[in-house]
Amino acid sequence: MTATVAEREVGRARLRKEDAHLIRGRTRWTENVTVPGMLHLAILRSPHAHARITRVDVSAALRSPNVVAAFTGADLADLQGVLACAWPVTEDMVAPTYTPLATTEVRHVGEPVAVVVARDRASAVDALEAIEVDYEPLPVVLDMEQALADGAPLVHAEAGTNKCYTWVFDSAQAGTGGDVAQAAAGAEVTLKRRYVQQRLVPAFMEPRSVLVDPGQDDITIWSATQIPHILRFLLSATTGVPEHKIRVIAPDVGGGFGGKLAATPEEWIAFAVARKIDRPVKYTESRWETMVSAHHGRDVIQDLTLYARRDGTVTGLEVKLTANMGAYLGLVTPGVPLLGAFMYNAIYKIPAYRFECTGVFTNTTKTDAYRGAGRPEATYAIERIMDDLAAELGMDPVEVRRRNWIAHEEFPYTTVAGLVYDSGNYEAATEKAMQLFGYEQLRAEQRARRESGDPVQLGIGVSTYTEMCGIAPSRMLGALNYGAGGWEAARVRVLPTGKVEVVTGTSPHGQGHVTAWSQIVADQLGVPFEDVEVLHGDTRTSPKGLDTYGSRSLAVGGVALAMACGKVRDKARLVAAHLLECSPDDVEFADGAFRVRGTPTAAKTLAEIATAVFTAHDLPEGMEPNLDSDAVFDPDAFSFPHGTHLCAVEVDTETGQVTIRNYACVDDVGTVINPLIVEGQVHGGVAQGIGQALYEEAVYDSDGNLLTGSLADYTVPSAADLPSFTTDRTETPATTNPLGVKGVGEAGTIAATPAVVNAVVDALRPYGVDDVPMPCTPERVWQALQQAKEAAA
């Protein structure tokens, strides 16, 4: 900020402070935490997708070696509380009661039914086999459209319907744009498309784990969670244990991707059991348990109708979603599609827009936030249909986008969905990406392969995305009926020796906040990067915060930190003026120190000032002897990263295999604190987006058993499947926060999926293929070719 360019930390590709202990295995995962007297919990889970529980008998398990206790749902009924959904998106939304342990009915395979507590984990798992449960199977409904049909089996009989809610946004009604009916009437081109967002599993590396220590008078919970603060609030609110008697610690957490943005049955069960037996209890799940019990992502049917003129101008867009909730509502399950509702218009000047989403219950694991949450779905659909429009009109897909996107001089721009995009430069990012990619050369090669009838065809996919992140302005969340705000808190403590302790309300689980926050503080206060300690993930040291998800940590929490640093600087300036015997107005913070304007050698460093404050021998009259500050930032607006991703794939038309030949992306995430971290986020995000495009899918059989219950069947790509990514950036600072930052955690995932699938479809258009359902496996590609061949015959 105010240090000289040479000394600036912000913008430096600093290696991460976090990595030494991660690489050397010196981590403290929840599973590694041990407390005296700790017992181990194992959970018996339903083998049925839908059944009435007529009897649960744990008596034989109680007689198993090393077993201390065993409980049914009924045993814990008065203690276990309920799992709350924090986002009732409509007033008439169906929100069924969701208990951690099922008591009378199970509604998906893997739902917890009973627990065993033993002196060691193996004994607990062994004893599960001795529990007797009688189930009376009930009809199962898995398909969303069948679930909505008359006479369908009901997931929740008492609700009388499988429909959870219908939520509508209409630009004509909202006053943010025109009427889609008029757009339909005047359309020269009408495209109707159905895209299917397959069900995904957030495959974080560290399985979920929770340890509850009832302690003496207060309860400590270690959990592999993204949301220690929200977890504390919810545990208190749903179990009646006073909030100040609960301490939540998120120690090292090995990835989340939204999958640990959750209040889980397992956390609530461990909390209840530890209280019931007054002993510390730990539970760590197996990968199968992750697959069946941790929430899933996506699983949405998208019906789009796009209206346009023959010159490529889009005149209207209708979106109708059918979104799978699964069997229950998780923390933000129903709201996930709404995060996409404002993004289907994307970077385009679409004059009329209507969005409708219907949430549906099925006998499957619940869905909830997964990296991007609603925005990848929206971006996929609009970017796919823009490519289809280009194909329909015989236009280059980049040209069609150019004719519709918001030009850089038009910012700030109010969209048809009512959001104000503060900044962006789609032209610059696209131009740069096309150059890096070699767009024209690849198009020439594509033409050559098409002409020669090469069995391996080349396809080029375009994705010009934006997203809304930095979640979020509290008032906007309130307007959407979300149960909490979106502010973030930070605290800065300057220690007597001039070292700085920072307390953040964000809860990193791989993002590198310790490093990035240190860089921000170093510039803000003129202290060395190494002199900053960042404390997080413990409600006792960091009592205030709203945690990490939705690419919010930097754009909200980082800004709060800068604000807290500003307060420290303001006070330090007063102390410096006092020590330098001049007016505070004559002191400036420059080159990392407080200097007398015009006499830069007369200066005090923060360390000198800290010592003066510590001794308090000679402070300005009435000044409190500390150099600490708190700040809370509640943004006025979302931030809007954007970028252009280009993917070239080789499609073997004989085997259907897709190989990514070239992937280039230019992202604009605003001001960059640490380019290395940004690049890592883009690489990981793109890999995950490719995972959805080509590899990943959670599959159920007709009885509701998850067939992809391990990482052998649920195929997550590894480095060996992925190409080298060519990444670059443009930097258009956000105007809605003082750091100019936007957020990067989800951008790659949002952008990559449509770029890859557009490329696959582009390769196959000469064969008459205009869609390949995700994931575009070799067989799906082959089938698409077969169907096109049959249709042509």
Chain contacts with other proteins (rule: CB under 8 A)? 121-122, 125-126, 286-288, 454-456, 652, 654-657, 659, 695, 699, 707-708, 710, 712-713, 715-718, 720-721, 777-779, 782-783
Q: Judge whether 559 and 632 are in contact, CB under 8 Å.
A: no
Q: Judge whether 347 and 406 are in contact, CB under 8 Å.
A: yes
Q: Judge whether 323 and 360 are in contact, CB under 8 Å.
A: yes
Pick the closer one to other proteins by CB: 65 or 412.
65
Residue 199: exposure state from Cβ atoms within 10 A (0-12, 13-18, ≥19) = buried
Pick the closer one to other proteins by CB: 132 or 713.
713
Pick the closer one to other proteins by CB: 182 or 715.
715
Q: Judge whether 591 and 653 are in contact, CB under 8 Å.
A: no
> Is the omega angle on the peptide bond into residue 754 within 30 degrees of 0, that is, cis?
no
Q: Judge whether 221 and 249 are in contact, CB under 8 Å.
A: yes
Pick the closer one to other proteins by CB: 134 or 779.
779
- Distances from the Cα of 608 to the Cα of 576, 605, 611, 747, angstroms: 9, 5, 5, 42
Q: Judge whether 600 and 610 are in contact, CB under 8 Å.
A: no
Distance CA 471, CA 339 (A): 10
Query: Residue 589: left if φ>0, alpha if ψ -120 to 50, beta else—which one?
Result: beta
In the complex, minimum distance from the CB of residue 684 to other proteins, in angstroms, rounded to a whole number: 17
Beta-bridge partners for 177: none
Pick the closer one to other proteins by CB: 644 or 692.
692
Q: Judge whether 554 and 516 are in contact, CB under 8 Å.
A: yes
Residues in the chain: 793
In the complex, minimum distance from the CB of residue 36 to other proteins, in angstroms, rounded to a whole number: 23
Distance CA 154, CA 158 (A): 9
- Distances from the Cα of 466 to the Cα of 383, 664, 747, angstroms: 11, 16, 8
Q: How much of the chain is helix, strand and coil, in % rounded to 5?
A: 35, 25, 40
Q: Judge whether 650 and 507 are in contact, CB under 8 Å.
A: no
- Residues ≥6 apart with Cβ < 8 Å to 619: 575, 578, 612, 613, 625
Closest CA to 327 of 45, 732, 117, 740: 45
In the complex, minimum distance from the CB of residue 782 to other proteins, in angstroms, rounded to a whole number: 6
Pick the closer one to other proteins by CB: 27 or 715.
715
Q: Judge whether 482 and 648 are in contact, CB under 8 Å.
A: no
Residue 382: exposure state from Cβ atoms within 10 A (0-12, 13-18, ≥19) = buried
DSSP state, residue 720:
G
Pick the closer one to other proteins by CB: 286 or 435.
286
Q: For the beta carbon of residue 134, count every other beta carbon within 10 angstroms.
A: 11
In the complex, minimum distance from the CB of residue 328 to other proteins, in angstroms, rounded to a whole number: 25
Pick the closer one to other proteins by CB: 396 or 652.
652
Query: Residue 765: left if φ>0, alpha if ψ -120 to 50, beta else—which one?
Result: alpha
In SS3 terms, 626-677 reads as CCEEEEEECCCCCECCEEEEEEEEEEECCCCCEEEEEEEEEEECECCCCHHH
Pick the closer one to other proteins by CB: 285 or 679.
285
Closest CA to 395 of 491, 462, 333: 462
Q: Judge whether 647 and 763 are in contact, CB under 8 Å.
A: no
Q: What is the crossing angle of helices 265-277 and 228-239, to 10°?
A: 60
Q: For the beta carbon of residue 40, count every other beta carbon within 10 angstroms.
A: 22
Closest CA to 143 of 696, 700, 698: 700
Q: What's the angle, vertex CA 87, arms to CA 743 and CA 687, rounded to 5?
A: 35
Pick the closer one to other proteins by CB: 611 or 715.
715
- Strands of 132-137's sheet, edge to edge? 105-106, 51-57, 132-137
C-alpha of 571 from chain center: 37
Pick the closer one to other proteins by CB: 109 or 503.
109
Bridge pairing between strands 246-249 and 219-223: parallel
Distance CA 364, CA 48 (A): 10
Bridge pairing between strands 209-213 and 219-223: antiparallel
